[in-house]
Homo-oligomer: A and B are copies of this chain.
Amino acid sequence: MIVETKYYKINETIKLESGRELKEVEVAYETYGELNGTKDNAILLLHALTGDAHAAGYHEGDSKPGWWDDMVGSGKAFDTDKYFVICSNMLGGCKGTTGPSSINPDTGREYGLDFPVITIEDVVKVQKKLIDFLGVKKLCVAGGSMGGMQAMEWALSYDEMVSHVIIIASTPKLSAQSIAFNAVGRNAILSDPNWNNGNYYHGEKPDKGLAIARMVGHITYLCEEAMHSKFARRFQDKDSPDFSFDIDFEVESYLAHQGKIFVDRFDANSYLYITKAVDYFDIEAKYGSLEEAFKNTHAKYLIMSFSSDWLFPTAQSKELCNALMKNKKDVSFCEIESPCGHDAFLLEYETQTNIIKSFLKEEVNE
């Protein structure tokens, strides 16, 4: 499946949760499958921290498919024979949608820190404009990790449009520990002299700081079990230590590699803005309680967690589940046994496929 990213320019000012405004927002998005006549067979996929609009298929000339290709396509979990599947890059991102690396129309230069701090509510507000533009009347929203937060936000803000909500490896609010990990990552970027208060787009980039942020992230995406089975204490290309500060262990090499490839594809300022949006997300604080929050929603919910995910552990999914059940909402929950840690939502596609197909079944029969 050869696909290409399209762009939608929103012709109105977006008012943000902070009170600030964004005048010109462009949204990068992709679609797979066809919208039906009643315009109610849409599925909006919501990407995680560093994802993009390219969820599935191949861009012309690429050897690697989109980030959730295992889940999106003919006969797959998100079946493009039946559904009109949409994925857009998030507001604040760096993959085609307006973010800190975009040109500020007021100055003609990159926004940098002039970009307003955004929230998950803002991110979803922009997605809603795209969905309206595409003519969709009713949709299923689905996402893992931060994508799951956006799915929750959709259910809360646009209940009238949302039929199904799929929340994978996510949480209604970060724990103090998760905020701490994000804070370390941001500190690494802010401490890199090349960051230069966010103005680095025409010089050296804060690659070292961004790489360290990514390394911290990757430790939290795996779990000890996954790290052990991947690397144990094996030395990299040698059998014993070389008594230097070069890379000794395979796990060090893995992290260094992840850091290195990340800086080529991601913008450090976007990393700051997006992790901040994630830190701020807190349904309980906004609505008084989780139970109160979901009281007036009408969608069906599918919540999945992974046994070895210690970043957004099962207990956090269960909290959400309990709040929905107390409201007598239609909710399915599954903790999937997996040794892959938080990353499981990108890897354990077979189990997820079965569960999602079963959850969406009623749609199929319509």
Q: Which of A's residues lie within 8 Å of B, judged by CB?
A: 18, 20, 113, 116-117, 173-177, 179-181, 183-184, 186-188, 190-193, 208-209, 211-212, 215-216, 219, 222-224, 227-228, 230-233, 241, 243-245, 248-252, 255-256, 259, 272, 276, 279-280, 282, 285
What is the distance, in angstroms, from A10's C-beta to the closest C-beta of chain B?
21
B249, A279: Cβ atoms closer than 8 Å? yes
A177-B248 in contact given A187-B212, A255-B184 (Cβ < 8 Å): no
How many angstroms from the CA of A248 to the CA of B282 in the assembled complex? 14
Nearest CB in chain B to that of A181: its residue: B219
A175-B227 in contact given A183-B251, A251-B180, A279-B248 (Cβ < 8 Å): yes
B191, A192: Cβ atoms closer than 8 Å? yes
> Which of B18, B173, B191, B279 is close to A208, meaning CB atoms less than 8 Å apart?
B191
B184, A230: Cβ atoms closer than 8 Å? no
> Which of B180, B192, B216, B232 is close to A184, meaning CB atoms less than 8 Å apart?
B216
How many angstroms from the CA of A248 to the CA of B119 in the assembled complex? 14
How many angstroms from the CA of A255 to the CA of B272 in the assembled complex? 17
B117, A230: Cβ atoms closer than 8 Å? no
How many angstroms from the CA of A216 to the CA of B272 in the assembled complex? 18
What is the distance, in angstroms, from A77's C-beta to the closest C-beta of chain B?
30
Contacts of A18 in B (CB 8 A): 243
B212, A177: Cβ atoms closer than 8 Å? no
What is the distance, in angstroms, from A219's C-beta to the closest C-beta of chain B?
5
> Which of B179, B209, B223, B241 is close to A249, meaning CB atoms less than 8 Å apart?
B179
A241, B280: Cβ atoms closer than 8 Å? yes
B177, A215: Cβ atoms closer than 8 Å? no
> Which of B184, B233, B252, B285 is close to A285, meaning CB atoms less than 8 Å apart?
B233
> Which of B117, B183, B232, B280 is close to A255, meaning CB atoms less than 8 Å apart?
B183
B251, A186: Cβ atoms closer than 8 Å? no
How many angstroms from the CA of A231 to the CA of B279 in the assembled complex? 14
How many angstroms from the CA of A233 to the CA of B249 in the assembled complex? 36
A179, B251: Cβ atoms closer than 8 Å? yes
Nearest CB in chain B to that of A194: its residue: B193
Contacts of A113 in B (CB 8 A): 245
How many angstroms from the CA of A255 to the CA of B230 in the assembled complex? 30
A176, B245: Cβ atoms closer than 8 Å? no
Contact sample, A vs B, 5 pairs, CB 8 Å cutoff:
A117-B244, A176-B231, A177-B223, A233-B285, A248-B276
B212, A176: Cβ atoms closer than 8 Å? no
What is the distance, in angstroms, from A287's C-beta to the closest C-beta of chain B?
14
